[in-house]
Structure 1
Amino acid sequence: MSKSARSIFVFGIYLGVFGLSMLIIPNTVLGMVSIPSTNEVWIRIVGMLLFLLGYYYIQAARKETTDFFQWTVPVRSSIILFLTTFVILGLVKPIIILLGVIDLAGAIWTGMTLRTSK
Structure 2
Amino acid sequence: MSRNDPMSRAAFSARVFSLYVMAVGAALVLVPNLLLGLFGIAPTGEIWIRVAGLIAFNLGIYVWVAAHHRPFLQASVYTRSLVFVVLTGFAVTGMGEPMLALFGVLDLAGAIWTLLALRADAQAAATGAAVGVAR
For residues 1-118 of structure 1, the aligned pairs below 5 Å read 1-61=7-67, 64-118=68-122
How many pairs align? 116
Residue identity over aligned pairs, in percent, reads: 41
Q: Distance in 2 between matches of 1:80 and 1:32?
A: 20
CA RMSD of aligned residues (A): 1.1
The ranges of structure 1 where at least 4 consecutive aligned residues each deviate by more than 4 angstroms after the TM superposition are none
Comparing both structures, which one devotes a greater share of its residues to helix? 1
For structure 2, list consecutive stretches of 5 or more residues without a partner in the other structure.
1-6, 123-135
Amino acid at match of 1:70: Q
TM-score, scaled to structure 1: 0.92
TM-score, scaled to structure 2: 0.81
Asked if the contact 2:9/2:120 (under 8 Å) is kept, the reply is no
Q: Distance in 2 between matches of 1:42 and 1:21?
A: 13
- Of the two, which has the highest radius of gyration? 2
For structure 1, list consecutive stretches of 5 or more residues without a partner in the other structure.
none
Q: Which has the higher contact order (CA 8 A, sep 6+)?
A: 1
